[in-house]
Chain A
């Protein structure tokens, strides 16, 4: 009898704890003047961190910033933020994950007014970035950085008279920043075949990174991957165009450094900026530009030309990979959290962040002639923003990314026929969408 009673109590405790999560949020306790902030780790938040003392002095709010690598930000947010309790008062959410956490985030129109800094005027956010903080028509947070594909090309290579003469003799035009994927392939092949530099730096940094590359190529060859059709998500991939894009990328892989199949950011940076042979041309997230332009660590500092990504047969496209700053519904310090975001997204802070070589999502700062004259990547960023494209966004995107990572990699590395790889992508993505009820 006692054993049965003990067992019953254990089960009851388990159930109580589990079911406890479904209760309504407890009333907010007395607000404190200390907030916990979870951000991704790159030069942008680090530049912000250096400015924190002035915010703390102006508001009396102490800010504890925790910076993690992007995949760990996702994991940490998933564990530490719910609709009833949160370890963080402010979280950075990668645009692809906004739908995942949307139900736990406080809509922007419910954010408290600032006592020291005025509410962020969302119309000041770069237009193409504004959608990133929005889900199902509700503005959830403030898009904070202008991260999207920008192209880097080795200026010293294309300005080399000898290389140019030899290239012109073979291809009939001058070396230049590639405006099309075909030019990229031709110039990259020239440098690769003549053992001058690797032609291209692919990106295989995790499932989200591979999806970016696939979306870029497919868009460039004239097809979307997933669209909202009749109010629901459908795979709309045109098989022939998707295969063309994959085949082309396979050619780019052939002129890439060894190990291209697994190149993440760290390997790409090493290949482009630390390897004496280097890479001719590849995309970069603008947030990482400071590392490539740091003369202490980069062999190519001051030798990089920036542009919008090269166009495919259909046109240009620049995949966005920005972050939005959100306040969890369960935060007990919403007033202080909002104050912090208002300060961060202000014009004054944005100006200083640009000077630190980072990219805030504010148009008037990015187009300021004074900054444009000093920062050669800013005009390229403006060009890229004009052709920005987004990855599909919905709660089950993580599963779809896994499919893409596996099949795209198989297709572009020659381990599977590209057509078969595309068919598998379509079939397996459809299965995920159907199971999710779309």
Chain B
């Protein structure tokens, strides 16, 4: 009688995985429910979105006629200035907001990675923004930036500055969207960095100190290299999350003024439910998926090689 062997640990064993498929004792029947669930909730929606992206499907037709147009929607997108505008805004958002969040989160983690009276309370309070619902955060910022009764303008006016219509000008509205994201998400970076820092053995830092390393040298030559896997994982999580940003911007600016804050997901939503073009919006969704995968693969392949990380992490 065969006994359960646990997961395959080598390519040879893996190759034999399907040999007894369907037979008693094979793991395949046990995996089928899980695979079906994975297919239903993960693979099928992607396949379906790709399939829909090959059709001209006006939502006003309901479940009615659709026209197969092959890659026509992707061609349309490539010629659509709105698409390129939203893509550049999205990339700009990622390349501005996330570095700020990373730096702030890292610095705060460095600063608070020590014991002091009330330290736990301070660290807990710092995390508050990350628990805000994005919609609530967006609304809060919208009212805070309101030129007549918003808190920020009242503060500026009290300091002698003229009131500013933050959300009514393209540049300041875009900056406000970024500021909102930084405010809400830098504690998330802090949380991961702090956890990473707390895991660094004290001996490592002490050894560097004994060797005469300055604080700057300890940070750049010891802490950051050891923290490298955490930094990259955080970066990857933030990029994927930032690519999907929607609700907070929607309630803050609805993509305006004009198209100045119409980030990628807002434009996708607009195409789907404003223009009712499901095929085109699905093509945008697939493009976003590919973009996410590209970011992830680039980061993982170039920087998250396990061997390299082990070396950087000092073989921890």
Contacts and interface: CB of A to CB of B under 8 A. Distances in A.
A101 to B, nearest CB: 7
Interface string A392-417: 00011011011001100110010100
A30 interface: no
Contacts of B52: 18
B60 A395 contact: yes
Contact of B148 (A75, A85, A259, A395): A259
A398 B149 contact: no
Contacts of B272: 78
Contact of B47 (A14, A261, A409): A14
25 contacts: A10-B39, A13-B44, A14-B48, A14-B51, A15-B51, A22-B64, A78-B59, A100-B59, A100-B60, A103-B62, A206-B254, A207-B274, A257-B147, A258-B148, A258-B168, A259-B148, A259-B167, A261-B165, A261-B168, A275-B149, A398-B273, A399-B274, A406-B259, A413-B257, A415-B258
B63 to A, nearest CB: 3
Interface in B222-262: 253-254, 256-259
Contacts of B65: 22
B60 A401 contact: no
A75 B275 CA distance: 11
A259 B274 contact: no
Contacts of B147: 257-259
For chain A, the bracket of interface size reads 35 or more
Interface in A64-89: 74-75, 78, 81-85
A262 B253 contact: yes
B129 interface: no
Interface of B: 18, 39, 43-44, 47-48, 51-52, 58-66, 146-149, 163, 165, 167-169, 253-254, 256-259, 270, 272-276
Contact of B274 (A82, A271, A402, A415): A402
B9 to A, nearest CB: 23
A428 to B, nearest CB: 10
B148 A257 contact: yes
A17 interface: yes
A104 B59 CA distance: 11
Interface string A157-171: 000000000000000
B148 A271 contact: yes
B63 A84 contact: yes
Interface of A: 2, 10-11, 13-15, 17-18, 21-22, 74-75, 78, 81-85, 99-104, 204, 206-207, 257-262, 264, 267, 270-271, 275, 395-396, 398-399, 401-402, 405-406, 409-410, 413, 415
B259 A83 contact: no
Q: Which of B61, B62, B168, B258 has the most CB of A within 10 A?
A: B62
A398 B48 contact: no
Contacts of B59: 78, 100
Nearest to A19: B66
Contacts of A207: 274
A103 B63 contact: no
Nearest to B153: A258
Given A10-B47, A14-B48, A259-B146, A409 B257 contact: yes
A157 B148 CA distance: 21
Q: Which 5 residue pairs spanning A and B have beta carbons closest together? A: A21-B63, A258-B147, A261-B168, A82-B62, A398-B274
Q: Which of B44, B149, B254, B270 has the most CB of A within 10 A?
A: B254
B180 to A, nearest CB: 15
A389 to B, nearest CB: 23
A413 to B, nearest CB: 7
B273 A78 contact: yes
B148 A262 contact: no
B268 to A, nearest CB: 13
Contacts of B63: 21-22, 82-85
A282 to B, nearest CB: 15
A247 B276 CA distance: 32
B60 A99 contact: yes
Contacts of B146: 259, 267, 270
Contacts of A402: 270, 274-275
A96 B148 CA distance: 32
Given A14-B47, A21-B63, A395-B60, 5 more contacts: A83-B64, A103-B61, A257-B148, A396-B275, A410-B258
Nearest to B150: A259
Contacts of B258: 405-406, 409-410, 415
